[in-house]
Amino acid sequence: MKKMISILLALCLSVMLLPAVAEDDVTGMWYLTRARASGVNMVVISDEIMITVNFRADGTAELYSKYPGSDEERMECTWTIDGSEISFIEGEAGEVETAKYENGELTMEAEGATMILTREPYTPYVMSPAVKAESIEAFYGTWVPSVPFQYGMMSSMDDVLPPEQRAKLAISAEGMQETSSDGTVSVYQNPAVDPETGVLTASFTVEGITATMELTLLEDGTVLMTASYMGVELARTIYARLAAAEDAA
């Protein structure tokens, strides 16, 4: 993701000319709302990540970016437009890069990734309300990852693998373990439900590093898994119960 962002910043290029008049006026603010990389569609769901371009009528523009692990950045550049092609440049010299303006959207290509900016900012993702689980039995069954979240973006596993080919998280009286798509089995240690919150907590060790996993049962029947290490959140994923599998009693 960071590499993708740095490539986007490098798009601030072009010549010191006023923009030509286009059929549609592109001046004003544009917001990153969607992206596609490696066949996976992602949508922006929070201000954890924010990329905007403000095209001014005098031929200048401001590019703003903010994403986890980096300070916010503002960059001034100039721009021109020729039909549906917009060119950018920052500074006195630089290789010209372009963006495409079509169907009311601004599209930028970078390292095989496509970033799409629109007039309206992101739509926040509203998660199903949490349900307090009374015991670990409420989590029993076989679960598959459905919706991953990271850096303020959300994607869908449906773009990558059908449910039967994904990793499978099995929770039962025998314990809690996940089987990857290649058959590797990973065991979670000490799964237990907090009687106050109803959250299922377990630990997972890989390459000597132990992460904490918290599973929250949601009202729509899915489970939110949050992974953290030393208090820092690493990832969030919604798991859906695998309909084809028999739930453990």
Summarised one tens digit per residue, pLDDT across range 194-228 is 999 999 999 988 878 889 999 999 999 999 999 99
| pLDDT value for 71 | 83
What is the dotted CATH code of the domain comprising 136-241? 2.40.128.20
| pLDDT tens digits for range 109-153 | 877 889 999 999 999 999 999 999 999 999 999 999 999 998 889
Mean pLDDT for the chain? 84
Structure confidence at residue 57 (pLDDT): 94
CB 84 within 8 A of CB 74: no
Q: How far apart, in whole angstroms, are the C-alpha atoms of residue 69 and residue 71? A: 7
pTM confidence score: 0.73
What is the enclosing helix (H) or strand (E) of 8? helix 2-9
At 172, give phi and psi (nearest 5°). Answer: -155, -175
Rounded to 10 degrees, the C-alpha dihedral 228/69/118/162 comes to -30
45 in Cβ contact with 124 (< 8 Å):
yes
What residues pair up with 238 in beta bridges, in sequence order?
147, 224
Q: Are 200 and 185 in contact (CB under 8 A)?
A: no
CATH number assigned to the domain covering 2-118: 2.40.128.280
Going from N- to C-terminal start, the domains of the chain cover 2-118, 136-241
Which carries the bigger pLDDT value, residue 15 or residue 98?
A: 98
| CATH topology agreement for domains 2-118 and 136-241 | yes
